[in-house]
Structure 1
Amino acid sequence: MFIGHALFAFAVAALVADWRGWDRRPALLVGIVAGAFAAIPDIDVAYALVGLLEWHAADGALGAPTAFWDASRAVHRSVTHSLVVGAIAAPAFGMLAVRGRTGRAHVVRLGAIGILVALVAVALVWDGPLAALVMGLFAASGVLVARWSARASSLSPSTVAFAALWGLWSHPWGDLVTGSPPDWLFPFGSPALESRVVLHSDPTLHLLGAFAIELAAIALALVTICRLTDRSPFSSINRRAGVGAAYGVAALAVTPPTLEVSYHFVFSILGVGLLCGVVRETPSLTLPRASYRRLPSSDAVLERSLTALAAIAVALAAYATVYVLV
């Protein structure tokens, strides 16, 4: 769900800006800023790298990802996913987007740093050094995004703050179907939504539903880009996306995936999309070598992305159909 968090926040922010009558460039920029902030809460998985240090090759092919995710459970979806933390951090990130070298600008930015340091201190007192470390990574990441937005765009500090708030607040909801619920109100208790939302009693159908939600978030982002750049999303999809229907056979050949063991499903279905989106007609051997190195145009990148996404969607539908019927 890492990518889905960012792309969903991007799409909604950009569409709202477009609806409000913003020009294309600032609408895209505010979407990018919101998407960047929406990705920040998952910086807590950086601690899971510790798990890889404890992994040994003898543990098997799935040993590395298992060790990674086992370590992540110690802190993932905790302090960085709190709506309370987001409500406090977002204005601080907006303050860090203040431009200028005046005394007032320096005071505002120092005040923002003070707020973020206070959040790290609260994490240390309430949940210990590991939570403080993760909160520090969260704050540092937000500082980088805020300062980048101040240098690369003309977005006002208040707009950056709203984009940060939307990004940080939209993130936790996507985790409700993929794992344990976030610590919604850290440092306070979370009296509601204390268990995973189950889409279906069959664990495989639940995984397929969660995967479909992720695809929908990606599709919304691509459609948003098409809308803001006056392109048609459907005309950009190549017919080779239909090849994804062959993936339905996988439902007969491999172990049904679940949230606990899904690597074989996720990697294989993404591979189908990658092949359909990237692999094109064989280039002529008479073309000069320099032509192979030419970077694809934005239209080509969008066409390949939409085709890959369509192929994955077709593959998912085919897999689900065969799984249900057989």
Structure 2
Amino acid sequence: MFVGHAVFAFALVAGAAAVRGVDSSRALSLGAVAAAFAAAPDVDMAYALVGVVSAQTTDALSVASQFWQTGNLVHRAMTHSVVLAPVVAVAAALWLRGRRLRRRRELVAAGALLASVVAIAAVVSGGLGLLIMALFVAVAVGIAEGTERLTDLGSRETFSTALVGLVSHPFGDLFTGLPPAMLYPFDATLLADRLSFSVDPTLNLLGAFGLELLTIWLALLVSLSLFGYSLRDAVDGRAALGAGYAVSVLLIPAPTLELSYPFVFSVLAVGMVGAAPRVGIRSRRVELPDRIAALCTGLAAVSIAGFAYTVAYLVA
């Protein structure tokens, strides 16, 4: 769900802004900032690189397993807290206001809030918590800095988009892996188990994959609307080739949340059909699709491939 978190926040914020009559440029800015903050909590996976570096093997599946085993020591903990999210959002807004108005008072206030968040993580989770939370707040400051430099959004809009991004993230994680520690630093559990689509582990994985595809489609449709593109014109008929992926049900292990890599990497590779050049039968000219057409056709091919695989799995 790494990508899904960002695109869902983008679709939610940019779509809501468009519905309210906000001009397309500003709606895109709002959505982009929300997407950046929605992706920020997963910075805790940086610790997983320790596992990759220390891995005693070059086998791809073993390295991937080591990556997740190491990352899960801190993943979905302090950075996924809906308790601390408003504090970070306020700090980001103060930072933007202080930088834009060149006022030290707001910058000091933002720094104090972020320092308190890091201190809480240090007290509750020790040195590793301090390290991860310090990285998280640094990313939040970086996003606020980018928002100040690249957009004309104000502090209130920055707070709102940051809050939507940070709070929406942990709820998306309820469908994969262990539920995040949403009430951190308090020793309380909001949800003890992840939400499942099916008792069948493969169908559960396919359900989560379908949900992520749905969020990407939602963000894409919002973007096309804001840019004035037609989805019908952007999707090429070659996307139907994704149906051929159904035969992979006989070639790769049945995917689960614990062993998803062969399925995910191979089904995403189907999307390359969108970037393939087109050869005119009569003109004999090679034409490269534009980026929008390549993206839409590729996503359509992946969606068809995922659906075809699901059908094949059910009837196999």
Query: Same fold per TM (> 0.5)?
Result: yes
Figure out how many residues of one structure are paired with residues of the other and give that number. 314
1:232 is aligned to 230
CA offsets per residue over residues 166-220 of structure 1, 9 Å max, x none? 0000101111111000001101133331111111010000000000011111111
In the alignment, residue 62 of structure 1 is paired with which amino acid?
A: L
1:128–1:233 distance in 2 versus 1, CA, 3 Å: same
In the alignment, residue 79 of structure 2 is paired with which amino acid?
A: T
1:93–1:283 distance in 2 versus 1, CA, 3 Å: farther
2:188 counterpart of 1:190 = yes
1:317 is aligned to 307
In the alignment, residue 30 of structure 1 is paired with which amino acid?
A: L
2:45 counterpart of 1:45 = yes
SS of corresponding position for 1:189? coil
Asked whether the equivalents of residues 207 and 257 of structure 1 are also in contact (C-alpha less than 8 Å), the reply is yes
C-alpha RMSD over aligned residues: 2.0
2:64 counterpart of 1:26 = no
CA offsets per residue over residues 151-179 of structure 1, 9 Å max, x none? 11110111001000000001011111110
For structure 1, the 5+ residue unaligned runs are none
2:55 is aligned to 55
Alignment of 1:1-20 (within 5 A): 1-20=1-20
1:18–1:71 distance in 2 versus 1, CA, 3 Å: same
Asked whether the equivalents of residues 181 and 189 of structure 2 are also in contact (C-alpha less than 8 Å), the reply is no
Distance 1:29 1:62 in 2: 38
Q: Which deviates more from structure 2 when the two are superposed, residues 218-227 or residues 229-238?
A: 229-238
2:130 is aligned to 132
Asked whether the equivalents of residues 99 and 150 of structure 1 are also in contact (C-alpha less than 8 Å), the reply is no
1:179 is aligned to 177
Alignment of 1:202-213 (within 5 A): 202-213=200-211
CA offsets per residue over residues 22-62 of structure 1, 9 Å max, x none? 1111110010000000000000000010001211236x331
1:243 is aligned to 241
Distance 1:300 1:281 in 2: 11
Asked whether the equivalents of residues 39 and 171 of structure 1 are also in contact (C-alpha less than 8 Å), the reply is yes
2:298 counterpart of 1:308 = yes
CA offsets per residue over residues 284-325 of structure 1, 9 Å max, x none? 9xx9xxx99xxx8xx921111111110011001110001101
Asked whether the equivalents of residues 9 and 166 of structure 1 are also in contact (C-alpha less than 8 Å), the reply is yes
Asked whether the equivalents of residues 56 and 63 of structure 1 are also in contact (C-alpha less than 8 Å), the reply is no
CA displacement at 1:254 relative to structure 2: 2.0
SS of corresponding position for 2:83? helix
2:275 is aligned to 278
In the alignment, residue 23 of structure 2 is paired with which amino acid?
A: D
CA displacement at 1:282 relative to structure 2: 5.1
Moved over 6 A (4+): none
1:279–1:109 distance in 2 versus 1, CA, 3 Å: same
For structure 2, the 5+ residue unaligned runs are none
2:86 is aligned to 87
1:126–1:21 distance in 2 versus 1, CA, 3 Å: same
In the alignment, residue 200 of structure 1 is paired with which amino acid?
A: S
CA offsets per residue over residues 238-259 of structure 1, 9 Å max, x none? 0000000000011122211111
2:162 is aligned to 164
| Percent of aligned pairs sharing the same letter | 41
Q: Which deviates more from structure 2 when the two are superposed, residues 215-224 or residues 226-235?
A: 226-235
Please report the TM-score for the alignment, with normalisation by the length of structure 1: 0.92
1:66 is aligned to 65
In the alignment, residue 321 of structure 1 is paired with which amino acid?
A: V
In the alignment, residue 238 of structure 1 is paired with which amino acid?
A: D
CA displacement at 1:101 relative to structure 2: 7.0
CA offsets per residue over residues 47-89 of structure 1, 9 Å max, x none? 010001211236x331211111110111000000000110111
CA displacement at 1:235 relative to structure 2: 2.2
Distance 1:38 1:102 in 2: 26
Asked whether the equivalents of residues 52 and 67 of structure 1 are also in contact (C-alpha less than 8 Å), the reply is yes
Q: Which deviates more from structure 2 when the two are superposed, residues 246-255 or residues 166-175?
A: 246-255
Distance 1:171 1:50 in 2: 24
CA displacement at 1:283 relative to structure 2: 9.4
CA displacement at 1:109 relative to structure 2: 1.2
In the alignment, residue 226 of structure 1 is paired with which amino acid?
A: L
CA displacement at 1:230 relative to structure 2: 1.5
